[in-house]
Amino acid sequence: MALPHVLVFPLPLQGPVNCMLKLAELLCLHQEIHVTFLNTEHIQQRLLNCTDVQIRFEKYPNFKFVTVPDGLPEDNPRIGDQIRKIIEGIEEVSSPLFREMVIAACGPTCLIVDGIFTFAVDIAKEARIPLLYFDTISPCSLWTYLAVPKLIEAGEIPFKGNDLDALVNSVPGMEGVLRRRDLPSFCRAPDLDSPIIQHVIKEGKHIVQAQGVIFNTFEGLEGPILSQFRAMIPNIYAIGPLHIQIKSKLANSQCLPKTTMSNSLWKEDMSCMDWLDKHPQKSVLFVSIGSLATMSKAHFLEFWYGLVNSMTPFLWVQRPGSIIGLEEDNINNVPKELSESTKERGCIVSWAPQEEVLAHSSIGGFLTHSGWNSTLESIVEGVPMICWPYFVDQHVNSRYVGEVWKLGLDMKDICDRATVERMVRQVMEVNKIKFLERAKQMSDLAIASVAESGSSYQDLDRLIEDIRLMRI
C-alpha cells in the first residue's frame, strides 16, 4: 500500500493559507505522512519575502511546496472586492494544473482543499482518491451559506423592504439569533443572479460529496452547530484552534522553533511589542481589519476620532492600501488633534505580529473585522472584541461574538465616532470585568480542547488515522 500523501490546496488569501500551513505542519509531525502544499506563485513569493517559512519547513523531509499561477495580472491587489476574480483565476488557470498533479502516477492519496473549490469533487472522483474539504471560515457562518437555498425558498432573500433588523427564520438552529443584517453580506444582493450567491449554492451541493469536512473550531465554542453539521455530513473534524494545537504539539515534541511561527504575507513590524511593554495590564485596544477589508477615508477618520476620544491607548494596524483614497504622503496630513493625541497614546504599524500582540498582557480589547482567524486568536487569549465586519462570513461571526458567545460588542454597519468611542469605553472601562471574565472562560475551553484527550486533540488524531487508512 502506498504511503499516505496529502495534497493541500488553500484559497490564496492570508487567512486560509495561514490555517492550511498549520494543518500541514501538524500532518508533517507524523513522519509517515507526506504533504505537498500547493500555493499560487504570488502567495509563495510573499511568504518567502516576509517569513522564514522555507527554513521552518525544511526540517520536515516529508514536506514540499509546489506552485501554480493564479491567472491574475501581477498588479491585481488581490484584496476585498477582487475575491470573485481570485476564485475565477483558480478555477480557470490553477485547477487544470491541480488536476494533472492529482491524476499523475504516484500522485497523492488524499486531497485537503478549501471548501470553496467545488472543482475538486470531480477531480477526486476521477483519481479515485478521498477528498476532505477544509472550510477555514467558522462553522456558524458556513451553516448560513448552506441555508441559502432554504432562505430563497422561504422568500427571505432577496430582502423585501429595507428593514435590516427583521429576524430571519429559515436558518435551522439560528432562529431568534440572526437578523437580516447578520446574514453573510452577499445576502444583501438585490437579486439572486449575483455570482457569489450562485457559487455558494454550488458549494453546498459539493461539500456533502466529500469524505469529510475539517473545521478550525472547537466543541466548547460551536458544539450546537457542529451537531447540526453532523446530521448532514457525518464525518466532521473540529480540530481548532489550530494555532494553539500546533504550538502544543511542537512543545510536546520539543520542536518549538526558535524564531516566530509567522505565515504573514506582509512584513511584521516588531517595534510595536516594545511599545506594548510600556503599558499596564489590559489597558490597550488592538485595532486591525485583517488582510482583505478596506475602509473609506470618511470611515477611517470616524474610527480615528472615536479611538482618540475614548482616551484609551491603541495599537492600530493600517495595512497598506486598506484605506481607500488615502495617499501615502497624505497620512501626515490629518487634523492636528488626531496626530497629537496619537503621539500621546497611539501606535500605528502597517502589519503586526498579531498572535503575539493578542497574547501580550497589555492588550485589553480587540477592534476587529471578525475574520475567523482573528476571532479565534482573540478567543484563545481571552481578549474581548468590538466587531466591525466587512463582508461575507464576518457578519455572522460578529453576531455570534456579541449575541451568542457574549465575548464583546457587534458594531456592524455603523462606525460614527460617537459609537466607536462608546463601544471602546464599554469594553475597556464600563463592562471591562464582565467581558474579561467571560472571555477567560471561553479561552479556558479553547485551551482544554487541544490538551491531551480534549475534543480537538482527539479529532486531529482521528483525522490522521483516517488519512492513513482512508480509501474510497
Binding site for ligand UDX (CB under 6 A): 13-16, 18, 137, 264, 288, 290-293, 317, 351-352, 354-355, 371-374, 377, 392-394
Name beta bridge partners: 212: 132
CB of 319 to ligand UDX, least distance (A): 7
Residue holding cell 500547493?
Answer: 38
Least distance CB 372 / ligand UDX (angstroms):
4
Minimum distance between the CB of residue 205 and ligand UDX, rounded to whole angstroms? 22
Least distance (Å) between residue 163 CB and ligand UDX = 25
- The phi-psi region of residue 160 (left if phi > 0; otherwise alpha if psi is between -120 and 50; otherwise beta) is beta
- Choice between 124 and 357, CB closer to ligand UDX: 357
Distance CA 241, CA 465 (A): 20
Contact 402, 408 (CB under 8 A): yes
Output the residue with the shortest Cβ distance to ligand UDX. 371
Q: Work out how close the CB of 291 gets to ligand UDX at its nearest, in angstroms, rounded to a whole number.
A: 4
Residue 74's Cβ-side half-sphere holds a number of Cα atoms within 13 Å equal to 3
Grouping H, G, I as helix, E, B as strand and the rest as coil, residue 286 is: strand
CA dihedral (377, 217, 147, 15) positive or negative: positive
Nearer to ligand UDX (CB atom), residue 18 or residue 62? 18
Based on CB atoms, which residue is closest to ligand UDX, 62 or 138?
Answer: 138
Query: Nearer to ligand UDX by C-beta: 13 or 102?
Result: 13
Instruction: Between 15 and 130, name the residue whose CB sits nearer to ligand UDX.
Output: 15
Q: Which residue has the cell 491585481?
A: 76
d(CA 345, CA 62): 48
CB of 83 to ligand UDX, least distance (A): 8
- Classify each residue of 53-84 as buried b or exposed e, where b means 16 or more C-beta atoms within 10 Å of its C-beta: beebbeebebbebebbebbbeeeeebbbeebe
Q: Supply the minimum distance, in Å, between the C-beta of residue 16 and ligand UDX.
A: 6
In angstroms, how far is CA 362 from the centroid of its own chain?
24
The answer to whether residues 338 and 305 touch, using CB atoms and an 8 Å cutoff, is yes
Compare residues 225 and 467 and give the one whose CB is closer to ligand UDX.
Answer: 225
Nearest CB to ligand UDX, comparing residues 34 and 360 = 360
